[in-house]
Amino acid sequence: MTSLAVPLRKSIEDWAERLQRTSPLAILAKKGELPPRAFAFYLESLRFLFQQSERNLAWALARSEQLGNPALIEYFRRKSREERGHDRWAMSDLAQLPRGITQALQPAHAVVSLAGLQRTLISRHPVCFATYILWTEYFTVLIGDDWLDSLSACGYERTGVSAIAKHVEADREHAAAGFGEFDELWQGDPEPSVILAVVEEAGRVFEAFCEEVCGEARRVA
Contact 115, 48 (CB under 8 A): yes
Q: Is 60 exceeded by the pLDDT of residue 90?
A: yes
Q: Residue 99 falls within a domain, yes or no?
A: yes
Q: Is 90 exceeded by the pLDDT of residue 3?
A: no
Q: What is the SS3 assignment for 214?
A: helix
Burial class (CB in 10 A: 0-12, 13-18, 19+), 29: buried
Q: Residue 24 falls within a domain, yes or no?
A: no
Q: Residue 28 falls within a domain, yes or no?
A: no
The pLDDT tens digits of the residues spanning 120-164 come to: 999 999 999 999 999 999 999 999 999 999 999 999 998 889 999
pLDDT of residue 29: 96
Distance CA 75, CA 128 (A): 13
Q: What domain range is 53 assigned to?
A: 5-18+34-220
Q: Residue 84 falls within a domain, yes or no?
A: yes
Q: Residue 89 falls within a domain, yes or no?
A: yes
**In which region does residue 155 sit, left (phi positive, over 0), alpha (psi from -120 to 50) or beta (all else)?**
left
Contact 93, 163 (CB under 8 A): yes
**In which region does residue 104 sit, left (phi positive, over 0), alpha (psi from -120 to 50) or beta (all else)?**
left
Query: What domain count does the chain have?
Result: 1
The pLDDT tens digits of the residues spanning 167-186 come to: 998 888 888 888 889 988 99
CATH number at residue 181: 1.20.910.10
* Alpha-carbon dihedral angle through residues 159, 139, 125, 48, given to the nearest 10 degrees: 30
Q: Residue 23 falls within a domain, yes or no?
A: no
pTM: 0.95
Distance CA 145, CA 205 (A): 22
Share the mean pLDDT of the chain: 94
Amino acid at 143: I
Q: Residue 131 falls within a domain, yes or no?
A: yes
Distance CA 209, CA 206 (A): 5
pLDDT of residue 1: 54
Determine what percent of the chain is predicted with pLDDT higher than 90: 83
Q: Residue 26 falls within a domain, yes or no?
A: no
